[in-house]
Amino acid sequence: MTDPLRVLIIADTHVPKRARDLPVRVWEEVAAADVVIHAGDWVEPALLDALEEKAARLVAVWGNNDGAELRSRLPEVARVELGGLRWGVVHETGARTRREERMRAAHPDLDVLVFGHSHIPWDSEHDGLRLLNPGSPTDRRREPSCTYLTCRVGGGELTEVTLHRL
């Protein structure tokens, strides 16, 4: 059996509008990760260029604040198999009320769905679907701190899901 993949999950970076760049700690996580997932709201293509260059593997989507160039380079929904699990990445999932039920119905074939938009960290499971939102590493909004997620995935198991506060 191969070692589990190290996964970094970020969203809502809003570079350069809310921050000039990602925090150094996040760049260190990019270097250590086997896969980087970005759930949209990049704002400018420069960060996408940098992550494409520095990440071992990047899975990413565009968000509501992303213009034509980012939308031409990224999908609205990404699907990928990682560590024996079926992953999806989207930016928006709508209101938090009944989110788990709606996303399970919308994505019946997934094991894990990563989303962004709210800047609010989220980790829940419903009917076999794990929902993860890393918050934002650059714009905390009303949250106490900026955040991102890391995890490991392998052998069909998601482990060590950790919310990091900056």
| pLDDT at residue 20 in the model | 93
- pTM, two decimals, is 0.97
| pLDDT at residue 2 in the model | 76
pLDDT digits (tens, 9 = 90+) for 24-57: 999 999 999 999 999 999 999 999 999 999 999 9
The domains of the chain are located at 5-165
Q: Which of the four CATH numbers 3.60.21.10, 3.40.50.2300, 3.40.630.30, 3.50.50.60 does domain 5-165 have?
A: 3.60.21.10
H/E stretch holding 81 = strand 78-82
Contact 41, 28 (CB under 8 A): no
pLDDT digits (tens, 9 = 90+) for 65-116: 999 999 999 999 999 999 999 999 999 999 989 999 999 999 999 999 999 9
DSSP one-letter code for 43? B
pLDDT digits (tens, 9 = 90+) for 107-158: 999 999 999 999 999 999 999 999 999 999 999 988 999 999 999 999 999 9
| pLDDT at residue 1 in the model | 60
Separation of CA 116 from chain center: 7
DSSP one-letter code for 42? -
| pLDDT at residue 81 in the model | 98
Residue 16, preceding peptide bond in cis (omega within 30° of 0):
yes
Hey, is 2 helix, strand or coil?
A: coil
Q: What are the structure tokens assigned to 109, written together?
A: 């074939």
| pLDDT at residue 56 in the model | 98
| pLDDT at residue 15 in the model | 95
Query: Burial letters for 145-166: b for 16+ Cβ neighbours within 10 Å, e otherwise?
Result: ebbbbbbbbbeeebeebebbeb
| pLDDT at residue 4 in the model | 96
